[in-house]
Amino acid sequence: MRKAGGIISLIAGVFGVIAAIVTLLIGGMGSAFEFSGSETVVWLGLGGILFSFLVIVFGALAINAKSKVIGGLLIVFSIVGAILGGTFVAIFMVLALIGGILAFFGARKQNMSEEK
């Protein structure tokens, strides 16, 4: 389950980056037309890119992780990314959250089976 969680998180991170770029484009167009609140949308896009990259990195680390720390950080980054990334990014951060949960509990079961 650890590898599956890492792969799911990688895929969610890549799609999260794409969604964050779309959010940045929407915020940039809003700024060009001087709409109110467009600066907030740009900041949401930047937060989405940051946390999507963190999900990609920790998703890759979760594939071969021996401890539950990587899975726990993946869960934290996906929750914060869903809050700070905007609606489009939040959709994929839910998928990253599922991957983080799989990586968190998969590492525990893997360690128990190695002791036997």
pLDDT at 111 over 80: no
> Residue 11: CB partners within 8 Å, gap ≥ 6?
95
Average pLDDT, the chain: 89
Helix (H) or strand (E) holding 37: none
- Structure tokens, 103: 């990586």
Domain count, the chain: 1
Q: What is the pLDDT of residues 37-53, one digit of tens each?
A: 889 999 999 999 999 99
- The label of the residue with tokens 């609606």 reads 87
**59 lies in which domain range?**
2-115
Q: What is the pTM of this model?
A: 0.86
Q: What is the pLDDT of residues 53-68, one digit of tens each?
A: 999 999 999 998 888 8
